[in-house]
Amino acid sequence: MIPIRVIVKKVSHCDINSIGRFARYSNILNKEVQTTKGFINSESFWEYSNEQSKKTCENVIYTISEWNSITDWDNWLKSSQRQKLKIYFDDILHKETYKVLIKNRDRLDTFLL
């Protein structure tokens, strides 16, 4: 199995009243995934936006998670447990996108700034 990382971008509707529910959604997902087969770990980050340069009003949370395999991630994504949470919090979600990253094992990666 090749471990993977997944970047999930969650965007809420532009509503000051939805921020608390939006954070709760992300926190509950994190709590529920902890016992899921193949899950290794995750971190979540709020997107920083300078209010003066912000053109649209949105709240964004990125979650980067590590999994044992794509199959494990797919099973979690399609699980009834996750689907129920997404439906319950659908009123505050504008969109949710996923990017699956697989490490390039054919060469040595050198991180350059």
pLDDT score of 1: 73
Residue type, 8: V
Q: For the whole prediction, is pTM greater than 0.75?
A: yes
pLDDT in tens, 38-95: 999 999 999 987 665 555 667 899 999 999 999 999 999 999 999 999 999 999 999 9
CATH code of the domain made up of 4-102: 3.30.70.100
Q: Are 100 and 73 in contact (CB under 8 A)?
A: yes
pLDDT score of 99: 98
Q: What is the mean pLDDT of residues 98-107?
A: 85
User: Is a pLDDT exceeding 90 seen at residue 102?
Assistant: yes
For the chain, give the secondary structure using H, E and C: CCCEEEEEEEEECCCHHHHHHHHHHHHHHHHHHCCCCCEEEEEEEECCCCCCCCCCCCCEEEEEEEECCHHHHHHHHHCHHHHHHHHHCCCCEEEEEEEEEECCCCCCCCCCC
Domain ranges of the chain: 4-102
User: Is a pLDDT exceeding 60 seen at residue 113?
Assistant: no
